[in-house]
A and B are shown apart, each in its own frame.
Chain A
Amino acid sequence: AQSVTQLGSHVSVSEGALVLLRCNYSSSVPPYLFWYVQYPNQGLQLLLKYTSAATLVKGINGFEAEFKKSETSFHLTKPSAHMSDAAEYFCAVSNFGNEKLTFGTGTRLTIIP
């Protein structure tokens, strides 16, 4: 069964510093991978998705992620953190033909002024 593991339930970075949120997947077939963001008391918003096209995926709000098959990883990065990036981030996986999304446990990102 497919799954994702997010290392670090809580990450703190200074404003203007690099943001790196880690996600590793486990899947027997090429997966589809997603990053979602959730602000307090809101639903989830799709940041970006990997669907077997380019391995470097650019998303909204300056975020990007790189699919590395050799490392089974899909880490999320942003060069310069902004206060508005403080939120919960979820990595998710699905397989071709199965649109059921499986979420990781989430990483809470805190931005230090």
Chain B
Amino acid sequence: DTEVTQTPKHLVMGMTNKKSLKCEQHMGHRAMYWYKQKAKKPPELMFVYSYEKLSINESVPSRFSPECPNSSLLNLHLHALQPEDSALYLCASSRQGNYGYTFGSGTRLTVV
């Protein structure tokens, strides 16, 4: 299994809703990442988990809350988002060392 699986693929939520994005990998990778990508822009790093511990938080607003329940799963909990948070949210994983990331296909989030 060489994939990173993200669910759901599309999500529309209101500004008062609470929702979660899910990411799963079974490649034994010990680092997992959340990126945000706006249209026609490169991905921007949000969070890094290394060995299930949060190692990098790129000053992301608290309305985004990451969680790593185990080495295969990564969640992103969303609450009270703003319309400007609408974007493609990408999950990625990697093994130790600079071998590159494996990305999921993303969740297209629309905040209304």
Binding site for A on B (CB under 8 A): 4, 6, 31, 40-43, 45, 48, 56, 90, 92, 94, 96-106, 108
Contacts and interface: CB of A to CB of B under 8 A. Distances in A.
A41 B62 CA distance: 27
Interface residues of A, number: 21
A99 B98 CA distance: 6
A54 B106 CA distance: 32
A43 B98 contact: no
A59 B28 CA distance: 23
Interface string A12-52: 00000000000000000000101010000111111001010
6 contacts: A32-B98, A41-B108, A46-B100, A49-B100, A94-B98, A106-B40
A77 interface: no
Interface string A73-92: 00000000000000000100
Nearest to A48: B100
